[in-house]
Amino acid sequence: MSIQRTRAVLAILGVSFAVLLAAVLSGGPAQAQGAAKPGTGAAPQAVPGFWDPRRRPDRPDLSRLTVIRFLTETDYPPFNFTGPDGNPAGFNVDLARQLCDEIKVTCTIQMRRFETLLDALSSNRGDAIIASLAVTPQLRARVDFTDPYYRAPARFVSRRDAVMPEVRPEYLEGKKVGAIAGSSHEAYLKAMFTDAELHSYPNDEALRLALRRGEVDFIFGDAISLAFWINGTDSAECCAFSGGPFVESRYFGEGIGIAVRKGNDLLRQALNWALFRVWEKGRYTDLWLRYFSVSPF
């Protein structure tokens, strides 16, 4: 499986998309947990943790909630898509259902075009948006957000015969490194990897093809879409991640949160409490492993 579409989550604001995932809520590095797929004997996969066990949220008065009407996007697999039975499916959808189960409240999930979600929320056609919506100052002016429930790291990918366990600026001196022109990944390379030979490409297809052909030594980009490419048929098993994730919020965003209407503190606090509980019980880890066979971390 591969993601054919990696489009701008912030397109409705005209803001360039940084990326999606990885660090605890305090802003530090992600706390990864090891988890192997049952019965495979495989090495444990890194499952990110976004919650600090020392910062347990207070339980709000959940009796005041009777229903949560979630809004999500129609077509952004594996996060949101229409299942074989015609019903909403995906990582975000399953997480929303787990939150409602934790809060013990009726839950509905309505799929809409991405560009209509904010207007639908503001006009009370839903209570919360769970659609891989990146937290930005621009969006904070329109909605309130829960704590991040994932972020997107940036990562390097190399050919399998040249994988590096760690990537530092000095290790890439003189190396050819590819990135999408005008992206946050390109900007990061220009700022931090000044001794590498930067090659810019117009889109993901051209970037990945350059690595397969050996025109560059590494490519640098959104780890989520790269994870699906590495594990999909398009890569022809050519390549693998090198080094670990890069999560600097200045370049790669504050993270992904659930949006609620401004001032709806009860729902926001209830969702924060439920997110922590789902993670604490290990259900978030189970959900993550179900959708990410190659970890972006």
Alpha helix segments (H runs only) across 109-183: 117-122, 137-140
> Is residue 8 very low, low, confident or very high in pLDDT (cuts 50, 70, 90)?
very low
Tell me the pLDDT band of 21, cut-offs 50, 70 and 90. very low
In the three-class reduction of DSSP (H, G, I as helix; E, B as strand; rest coil), residue 115 is classed as helix
Amino acid found at 180: I
Phi-psi region of 179 (alpha: psi -120 to 50; beta: other; left: phi over 0): beta
Task: Return the residue matching tokens 């809004």.
Answer: 71
Q: Which one is the CATH code of 154-246: 3.30.70.3040, 3.40.190.10, 2.140.10.10, 3.40.50.300?
A: 3.40.190.10
Find all residues with CB under 8 Å of 113, minimum gap 6, and list them.
73, 74
Please state, in angstroms and rounded to a whole number, the distance separating the CA atoms of residues 221 and 19.
Answer: 9
Identify whether the C-beta of residue 183 lies closer than 8 Å to the C-beta of residue 204.
no
pLDDT tens string 208-237: 999 999 999 999 999 989 998 998 899 999
In tens, the pLDDT along 167-206 reads 999 999 999 999 999 999 999 999 999 999 999 999 999 9
| Spatial separation of the C-alpha atoms in residues 288 and 78, rounded to whole Å | 11
For the chain, which residues make up each domain, given as ranges? Answer: 11-151+255-291, 154-246
Residue 48 pLDDT: 67
Residue pair 129/79 in contact (Cβ under 8 Å)? The answer is no
Residues with Cβ within 8 Å of residue 292, at least 6 apart in sequence:
45, 78, 227
Residue 123, pLDDT score: 97
Q: Which fold has domain 11-151+255-291?
A: D-Maltodextrin-Binding Protein; domain 2 (3.40.190)
- The mean-pLDDT minimum among 33-37, 250-254, 260-264, 269-273 falls in 33-37
Q: What is the model's pTM?
A: 0.76
What pLDDT is stored for residue 292 in this prediction? 83
